[in-house]
Protein backbone atom coordinates (compact mmCIF):
# COMPACT_ATOMS: atom_id res chain seq x y z
CA UNK A 1 0.00 0.00 0.00
CA UNK A 2 2.77 2.46 0.80
CA UNK A 3 6.54 2.71 0.89
CA UNK A 4 6.63 3.77 4.57
CA UNK A 5 5.99 1.66 7.66
CA UNK A 6 6.51 3.70 10.85
CA UNK A 7 4.51 6.89 11.23
CA UNK A 8 5.11 9.69 13.72
CA UNK A 9 2.08 11.91 14.38
CA UNK A 10 2.99 15.27 15.95
CA UNK A 11 0.16 17.15 17.67
CA UNK A 12 -1.83 13.94 18.02
CA UNK A 13 -4.03 15.12 20.92
CA UNK A 14 -5.78 17.78 18.84
CA UNK A 15 -9.06 17.65 16.94
CA UNK A 16 -7.69 15.89 13.84
CA UNK A 17 -4.72 14.03 15.36
CA UNK A 18 -6.83 12.27 17.97
CA UNK A 19 -8.94 10.66 15.21
CA UNK A 20 -6.19 10.24 12.64
CA UNK A 21 -4.00 8.15 14.97
CA UNK A 22 -6.62 5.37 15.51
CA UNK A 23 -7.37 5.39 11.77
CA UNK A 24 -3.68 5.02 10.83
CA UNK A 25 -3.25 2.32 13.50
CA UNK A 26 -6.05 0.31 11.83
CA UNK A 27 -4.01 0.35 8.60
CA UNK A 28 -0.42 0.14 9.86
CA UNK A 29 -0.83 -1.65 13.23
CA UNK A 30 -0.89 -0.09 16.70
CA UNK A 31 2.85 -0.22 17.28
CA UNK A 32 3.69 1.38 13.96
CA UNK A 33 1.96 4.69 14.65
CA UNK A 34 3.75 6.74 17.31
CA UNK A 35 1.51 9.44 18.74
CA UNK A 36 3.14 12.55 20.25
CA UNK A 37 1.88 15.80 21.71
CA UNK A 38 2.70 18.43 24.32
CA UNK A 39 -0.29 17.16 26.27
CA UNK A 40 0.73 14.73 29.08
CA UNK A 41 -2.83 13.33 29.32
CA UNK A 42 -4.33 12.85 25.83
CA UNK A 43 -7.53 10.84 25.36
CA UNK A 44 -7.53 7.09 26.07
CA UNK A 45 -8.04 6.31 22.36
CA UNK A 46 -4.51 7.58 21.71
CA UNK A 47 -2.63 6.50 24.80
CA UNK A 48 -4.12 3.05 25.48
CA UNK A 49 -3.57 1.38 22.12
CA UNK A 50 -0.06 2.25 20.99
CA UNK A 51 3.13 4.20 21.68
CA UNK A 52 2.76 7.73 23.03
CA UNK A 53 5.53 10.26 23.71
CA UNK A 54 5.43 13.82 24.97
CA UNK A 55 7.04 15.98 22.29
CA UNK A 56 7.36 19.71 21.63
CA UNK A 57 7.74 20.19 17.86
CA UNK A 58 10.06 23.12 18.64
CA UNK A 59 12.57 20.73 20.24
CA UNK A 60 14.52 19.46 17.22
CA UNK A 61 16.80 17.26 19.31
CA UNK A 62 13.90 15.46 21.00
CA UNK A 63 12.24 15.03 17.59
CA UNK A 64 15.41 13.42 16.20
CA UNK A 65 15.69 11.12 19.23
CA UNK A 66 12.13 9.83 18.73
CA UNK A 67 12.69 9.32 14.98
CA UNK A 68 15.77 7.21 15.66
CA UNK A 69 14.21 5.34 18.62
CA UNK A 70 11.26 4.08 16.55
CA UNK A 71 12.83 3.97 13.07
CA UNK A 72 10.28 6.52 11.78
CA UNK A 73 9.98 6.89 8.00
CA UNK A 74 6.82 9.04 7.74
CA UNK A 75 5.85 12.18 9.68
CA UNK A 76 2.42 13.79 10.00
CA UNK A 77 2.69 17.27 11.51
CA UNK A 78 -0.58 18.38 13.12
CA UNK A 79 0.98 20.79 15.64
CA UNK A 80 -0.25 24.33 14.95
CA UNK A 81 -1.98 27.35 16.41
CA UNK A 82 -5.20 28.12 14.51
CA UNK A 83 -6.60 31.42 13.25
CA UNK A 84 -8.33 32.88 16.32
CA UNK A 85 -5.60 31.90 18.81
CA UNK A 86 -3.05 33.12 16.27
CA UNK A 87 -4.58 36.61 16.28
CA UNK A 88 -4.36 36.69 20.09
CA UNK A 89 -0.72 35.62 20.05
CA UNK A 90 0.82 36.19 16.60
CA UNK A 91 4.42 35.58 17.73
CA UNK A 92 3.55 32.20 19.23
CA UNK A 93 1.63 31.27 16.06
CA UNK A 94 4.65 32.17 13.93
CA UNK A 95 7.00 30.27 16.23
CA UNK A 96 5.02 27.01 16.47
CA UNK A 97 3.74 26.97 12.88
CA UNK A 98 6.97 27.99 11.13
CA UNK A 99 9.77 26.77 13.40
CA UNK A 100 7.81 23.57 14.03
CA UNK A 101 7.55 22.97 10.30
CA UNK A 102 11.18 23.73 9.53
CA UNK A 103 12.22 21.34 12.31
CA UNK A 104 10.10 18.62 10.73
CA UNK A 105 11.55 19.32 7.28
CA UNK A 106 15.14 19.47 8.48
CA UNK A 107 14.99 16.26 10.54
CA UNK A 108 13.23 14.59 7.61
CA UNK A 109 16.04 15.59 5.27
CA UNK A 110 18.68 14.43 7.74
CA UNK A 111 17.00 11.10 8.55
CA UNK A 112 15.76 9.95 5.15
CA UNK A 113 12.06 10.31 5.97
CA UNK A 114 10.09 8.98 3.00
CA UNK A 115 6.86 10.96 3.38
CA UNK A 116 5.73 14.08 5.26
CA UNK A 117 2.16 15.30 5.60
CA UNK A 118 1.83 18.94 6.65
CA UNK A 119 -1.62 20.51 6.37
CA UNK A 120 -2.44 23.92 5.02
CA UNK A 121 -5.80 25.67 5.35
CA UNK A 122 -8.41 27.81 3.62
CA UNK A 123 -6.79 30.52 5.78
CA UNK A 124 -4.05 30.68 3.11
CA UNK A 125 -6.49 32.74 1.02
CA UNK A 126 -7.32 36.38 1.60
CA UNK A 127 -9.77 39.12 0.64
CA UNK A 128 -8.22 39.57 -2.82
CA UNK A 129 -8.77 35.87 -3.67
CA UNK A 130 -11.93 35.03 -5.67
CA UNK A 131 -14.31 33.92 -2.89
CA UNK A 132 -16.60 31.62 -4.85
CA UNK A 133 -15.27 28.36 -6.23
CA UNK A 134 -11.79 29.54 -5.20
CA UNK A 135 -9.25 28.17 -7.72
CA UNK A 136 -6.34 25.89 -6.81
CA UNK A 137 -3.71 28.33 -8.03
CA UNK A 138 -4.73 31.85 -7.13
CA UNK A 139 -3.88 34.97 -5.10
CA UNK A 140 -2.53 34.07 -1.63
CA UNK A 141 -2.51 37.26 0.44
CA UNK A 142 -3.98 36.27 3.82
CA UNK A 143 -4.56 38.85 6.52
CA UNK A 144 -4.33 36.58 9.61
CA UNK A 145 -1.02 35.43 11.12
CA UNK A 146 -2.29 31.85 10.85
CA UNK A 147 -2.85 32.40 7.12
CA UNK A 148 0.58 33.97 6.71
CA UNK A 149 2.17 30.88 8.31
CA UNK A 150 0.10 28.57 6.10
CA UNK A 151 1.18 30.29 2.86
CA UNK A 152 4.80 30.41 4.03
CA UNK A 153 4.47 26.74 5.07
CA UNK A 154 3.20 25.72 1.62
CA UNK A 155 6.09 27.54 -0.03
CA UNK A 156 8.64 26.14 2.40
CA UNK A 157 7.37 22.58 1.95
CA UNK A 158 7.43 22.92 -1.84
CA UNK A 159 10.97 24.30 -1.57
CA UNK A 160 12.06 21.10 0.22
CA UNK A 161 10.34 19.04 -2.49
CA UNK A 162 12.21 20.92 -5.22
CA UNK A 163 15.57 21.40 -3.53
CA UNK A 164 15.99 18.11 -1.64
CA UNK A 165 13.46 15.79 -3.29
CA UNK A 166 11.56 15.34 0.01
CA UNK A 167 8.05 13.96 -0.49
CA UNK A 168 6.00 16.56 1.40
CA UNK A 169 2.23 16.64 0.89
CA UNK A 170 -0.66 18.65 2.26
CA UNK A 171 -4.24 19.78 1.76
CA UNK A 172 -5.87 23.11 2.55
CA UNK A 173 -8.33 21.94 5.20
CA UNK A 174 -11.65 23.76 5.39
CA UNK A 175 -13.40 23.99 8.78
CA UNK A 176 -13.45 20.49 10.26
CA UNK A 177 -16.51 19.23 12.14
CA UNK A 178 -16.26 16.34 14.57
CA UNK A 179 -17.60 14.91 17.85
CA UNK A 180 -14.54 13.20 19.35
CA UNK A 181 -12.17 16.02 20.36
CA UNK A 182 -13.11 19.71 20.40
CA UNK A 183 -11.22 22.01 18.04
CA UNK A 184 -9.20 24.76 19.65
CA UNK A 185 -8.84 28.36 18.59
CA UNK A 186 -10.30 28.35 15.08
CA UNK A 187 -12.78 30.66 13.34
CA UNK A 188 -14.78 27.70 12.04
CA UNK A 189 -15.14 26.24 15.57
CA UNK A 190 -18.70 27.62 15.82
CA UNK A 191 -19.78 24.79 13.51
CA UNK A 192 -18.74 22.25 16.16
CA UNK A 193 -19.84 24.17 19.28
CA UNK A 194 -23.32 24.66 17.78
CA UNK A 195 -23.91 20.87 17.83
CA UNK A 196 -22.78 20.47 21.44
CA UNK A 197 -25.07 23.30 22.56
CA UNK A 198 -27.95 22.07 20.39
CA UNK A 199 -27.83 18.67 22.09
CA UNK A 200 -27.17 19.97 25.61
CA UNK A 201 -29.32 23.13 25.81
CA UNK A 202 -31.28 23.49 22.55
CA UNK A 203 -29.81 26.93 21.85
CA UNK A 204 -26.57 28.51 20.67
CA UNK A 205 -25.04 32.00 20.53
CA UNK A 206 -22.96 32.35 17.37
CA UNK A 207 -19.92 34.62 16.98
CA UNK A 208 -20.29 34.84 13.17
CA UNK A 209 -23.13 36.55 11.27
CA UNK A 210 -25.97 34.33 10.01
CA UNK A 211 -25.01 34.72 6.35
CA UNK A 212 -21.27 33.96 6.70
CA UNK A 213 -20.64 31.16 4.24
CA UNK A 214 -17.50 29.06 4.76
CA UNK A 215 -16.18 25.77 3.33
CA UNK A 216 -16.52 22.89 5.82
CA UNK A 217 -15.88 19.15 6.01
CA UNK A 218 -16.96 16.29 8.29
CA UNK A 219 -14.19 14.40 10.06
CA UNK A 220 -14.55 11.08 8.15
CA UNK A 221 -13.90 13.01 4.92
CA UNK A 222 -11.00 14.89 6.54
CA UNK A 223 -9.39 11.57 7.52
CA UNK A 224 -10.04 10.19 4.03
CA UNK A 225 -8.47 13.25 2.35
CA UNK A 226 -5.42 13.01 4.59
CA UNK A 227 -4.84 9.27 4.18
CA UNK A 228 -5.69 9.18 0.46
CA UNK A 229 -3.16 11.92 -0.26
CA UNK A 230 -0.55 10.20 1.92
CA UNK A 231 -1.06 7.07 -0.19
CA UNK A 232 -1.29 8.74 -3.60
CA UNK A 233 1.10 7.72 -6.35
CA UNK A 234 3.77 10.42 -6.46
CA UNK A 235 4.03 10.32 -10.23
CA UNK A 236 0.44 11.60 -10.62
CA UNK A 237 0.95 14.65 -8.36
CA UNK A 238 1.56 18.03 -9.96
CA UNK A 239 0.89 19.90 -6.70
CA UNK A 240 2.35 18.88 -3.35
CA UNK A 241 1.55 20.76 -0.15
CA UNK A 242 -1.35 22.97 -1.16
CA UNK A 243 -4.27 20.90 -2.48
CA UNK A 244 -7.70 22.52 -2.32
CA UNK A 245 -10.23 20.01 -0.94
CA UNK A 246 -13.95 20.66 -0.59
CA UNK A 247 -16.97 18.86 0.79
CA UNK A 248 -19.71 21.42 1.60
CA UNK A 249 -20.27 25.11 2.28
CA UNK A 250 -22.86 26.54 4.66
CA UNK A 251 -23.75 29.55 6.79
CA UNK A 252 -24.78 29.60 10.47
CA UNK A 253 -28.35 30.05 9.17
CA UNK A 254 -28.33 27.02 6.85
CA UNK A 255 -26.61 24.92 9.52
CA UNK A 256 -29.31 25.94 11.99
CA UNK A 257 -32.02 24.88 9.53
CA UNK A 258 -30.30 21.52 9.10
CA UNK A 259 -30.08 21.00 12.89
CA UNK A 260 -33.77 21.95 13.25
CA UNK A 261 -34.68 18.96 11.06
CA UNK A 262 -33.43 16.73 13.89
CA UNK A 263 -33.95 19.04 16.92
CA UNK A 264 -37.06 21.06 15.96
CA UNK A 265 -36.94 23.42 18.96
CA UNK A 266 -33.30 24.46 18.39
CA UNK A 267 -32.74 28.23 18.35
CA UNK A 268 -29.76 30.47 17.56
CA UNK A 269 -28.87 34.06 18.37
CA UNK A 270 -25.82 36.13 17.46
CA UNK A 271 -23.07 37.97 19.31
CA UNK A 272 -20.47 38.86 16.65
CA UNK A 273 -16.81 39.16 17.63
CA UNK A 274 -13.34 39.64 16.08
CA UNK A 275 -13.54 36.28 14.28
CA UNK A 276 -16.05 37.77 11.80
CA UNK A 277 -13.23 39.75 10.14
CA UNK A 278 -11.18 36.57 9.74
CA UNK A 279 -14.15 34.69 8.24
CA UNK A 280 -14.90 37.60 5.87
CA UNK A 281 -11.40 37.27 4.38
CA UNK A 282 -11.86 33.56 3.55
CA UNK A 283 -13.50 31.80 0.57
CA UNK A 284 -17.17 30.86 0.49
CA UNK A 285 -16.57 27.74 -1.62
CA UNK A 286 -13.60 25.87 -3.03
CA UNK A 287 -12.71 24.40 -6.43
CA UNK A 288 -11.01 21.07 -5.66
CA UNK A 289 -10.71 19.78 -9.23
CA UNK A 290 -6.89 19.39 -8.97
CA UNK A 291 -7.24 17.06 -5.94
CA UNK A 292 -9.94 15.11 -7.79
CA UNK A 293 -7.81 14.80 -10.93
CA UNK A 294 -4.39 14.17 -9.34
CA UNK A 295 -5.29 11.69 -6.57
CA UNK A 296 -8.98 10.89 -6.90
CA UNK A 297 -10.36 13.01 -4.03
CA UNK A 298 -14.10 12.66 -3.47
CA UNK A 299 -16.02 13.52 -0.26
CA UNK A 300 -18.86 11.40 1.13
CA UNK A 301 -20.79 13.66 3.53
CA UNK A 302 -23.10 16.55 2.70
CA UNK A 303 -24.65 18.91 5.26
CA UNK A 304 -27.69 16.84 6.27
CA UNK A 305 -25.78 13.54 6.41
CA UNK A 306 -23.19 15.17 8.68
CA UNK A 307 -25.82 16.86 10.88
CA UNK A 308 -27.67 13.59 11.45
CA UNK A 309 -24.47 11.74 12.34
CA UNK A 310 -23.19 14.52 14.65
CA UNK A 311 -26.47 14.73 16.56
CA UNK A 312 -26.74 10.95 17.00
CA UNK A 313 -23.16 10.74 18.30
CA UNK A 314 -23.49 13.69 20.66
CA UNK A 315 -26.90 12.56 21.99
CA UNK A 316 -25.29 9.24 22.89
CA UNK A 317 -22.38 11.00 24.65
CA UNK A 318 -24.85 13.28 26.46
CA UNK A 319 -26.95 10.34 27.63
CA UNK A 320 -23.81 8.80 29.15
CA UNK A 321 -22.91 12.07 30.90
CA UNK A 322 -19.76 12.47 28.79
CA UNK A 323 -20.66 15.96 27.58
Q: Tell me 143's DSSP state.
A: S
Q: Which of 17, 22, 175, 283 binds ligand SER (CB under 6 A)?
A: 175
> Of 117, 173, 266, 301, which lies in the binding site for ligand SER, with binding defined by CB under 6 A?
173
Using a 10 angstrom Cβ sphere, with 0-12 exposed, 13-18 middle and 19 or more buried, the burial of residue 61 is: exposed
Identified catalytic residue from 28, 146, 204, 301: 146
Residues 6 or more apart in contact with residue 257 via CB below 8 angstroms: none
**Under 8 Å between Cβ of 163 and 149:** no
Nearer to ligand SER, 139 or 293 (CB): 139
146 is catalytic: yes
Task: Indicate which single residue of 36, 121, 178, 181 sits in contact with ligand SER (rule: CB under 6 A).
Answer: 121
Q: Is position 77 an interface residue for ligand SER (rule: CB under 6 A)?
A: no
Other beta carbons within 10 Å of 147: 25
Question: Which 8-state DSSP code applies to residue 236?
Answer: G
CB of 162 to ligand SER, least distance (A): 25
Strand partners, 217: 176
Q: Which of 82, 148, 157, 245 binds ligand SER (CB under 6 A)?
A: 82
Per-residue contact flags (x/-) with ligand SER for residues 177 to 216, judged by CB under 6 A: ---------xxx----------------------------
Q: For 161-195, b where at least 16 C-beta lie within 10 A, e where not — what string?
A: beeeebbbbbbbbbbbbbbebebebbbbbbbbebb
For residue 212, the minimal CB distance to ligand SER (Å) is: 12
Q: Cα Rg for the chain, rounded, in angstroms?
A: 19
Give the footprint of ligand SER on residues 229-268 (CB under 6 A).
Answer: none
Of 81 and 104, which CB lies nearer to ligand SER in the complex structure?
A: 81
Question: CA 37 to CA 119: how far, in whole Å?
Answer: 16
- Decide if 252 contacts 212 (C-beta within 8 A): yes
Q: Residue 196 Cβ, how far from ligand SER at the closest point, in Å?
A: 16
Q: HSE on the CB side for 237, CA within 13 Å?
A: 20
Position 136 contacts ligand SER (CB under 6 A): no
CB of 130 vs ligand SER, minimal distance in Å: 18
Q: Which of 8, 34, 46, 123 binds ligand SER (CB under 6 A)?
A: 123
Closest to ligand SER by CB, 49 or 185: 185
Q: Under the rule (CB under 6 A), what is the footprint of ligand SER?
A: 82-83, 121-123, 146, 173, 175, 186-188
Residues belonging to the active site: 146
Amino acid sequence: MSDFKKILVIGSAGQIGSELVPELRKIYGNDNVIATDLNPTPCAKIIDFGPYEILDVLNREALTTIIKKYGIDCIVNMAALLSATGEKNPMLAWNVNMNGLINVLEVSRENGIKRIFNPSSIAAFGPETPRDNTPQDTILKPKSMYGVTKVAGELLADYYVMKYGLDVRGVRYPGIISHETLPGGGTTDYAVAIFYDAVKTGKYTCFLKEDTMLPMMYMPDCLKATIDLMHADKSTLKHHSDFNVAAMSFTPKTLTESIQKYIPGFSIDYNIDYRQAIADSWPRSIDDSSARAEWGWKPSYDLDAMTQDMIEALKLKHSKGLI
